[in-house]
Amino acid sequence: MEEMFSLTGRTALVTGSSRGLGFAMAKGLAQAGAHVFLNGRDAVGLEAKARTLRNAGLHADIAPFDATDEVGGRAAIEAIVSGHGHLDILIANAGMNIRKPTLEVTTDEWRQIVDLNLTACFTIARDAAREMVKCKWGRIIFTGSVLSKMGRPTIPAYTATKHGVLGLTKSLGAEFGRDGVTVNGIGPGFFKTELNIPLLADKDFTDWVEMRTPLGRWAEPDEIAGAAVFLSSDAAAYVNGHMLMVDGGMTINA
């Protein structure tokens, strides 16, 4: 059974993995045996993160590029394939959010969120799939959200993009399944990450999260790693077009 979850010999690219959930998922894949490429815009910061993994005896390198840079993403994939022969796993995780009343959201802010949270997911997945189809094996995983199934005020663009990620997951899963490439998503609930520090400091919001979540607490970043390893492994060979909610049960009634 343990072999079904092993990622030994697999090569993975995780976008937005310099910190938070992206790094937690990348670390989980590396611990399962994968050679992981960390992505972000800051090469120096990425190298420091990769070094922490290598110091733990894991296989990690960096692939610095802006996730919205289609040319940069394609070049990174080509470099990984050229150096390692294949790209087996892509986790398209890079994302952002802007919290403000909808009447104050500018069109430029809307487009900025859509470009990173949705369009960048499509372009990097398309280019990764092109390589995976050649090998007749691949795992594409998108980071969705509880907002892929719910709605919240003051984050219209984020909510729309995360609903879009769910649709993209289903569409690509339907298209690439016969080529041996599965496409799934992970829908995180509320995790104690750097991005959520302002929310953690808001007692009313924290109380709402704990009340709404059946497990009654926020999640620790490493608690997302198991889902990433599962969906990347042979254990999930027949899981396709699915959004796996890792939310403590928040969306049970969504």
The position carrying tokens 């959520």 is: 196
In sequence order, what are the residues at sequence separation of 6 or more whose Cβ sits closer than 8 angstroms to the Cβ of residue 205? 199
Calculate the alpha carbon distances from 184 to 15, 31, 52, 176 in Å: 15, 21, 28, 11
Alpha carbon of residue 139 to chain centroid: 12
Instruction: Give the ranges where the chain is alpha helix by DSSP (H).
Output: 20-31, 43-55, 70-84, 107-114, 120-135, 156-176, 197-200, 203-212, 225-232
For 234, the 3-state DSSP assignment is helix
Whether 158 is catalytic: yes
Q: Which one of the listed residues 37, 65, 142, 158 is annotated catalytic?
A: 158
Helix or strand run (H / E) with residue 190: none
Rounded to 5 degrees, φ, ψ at 20 are 60, -145
| Residues recognised as catalytic | 158
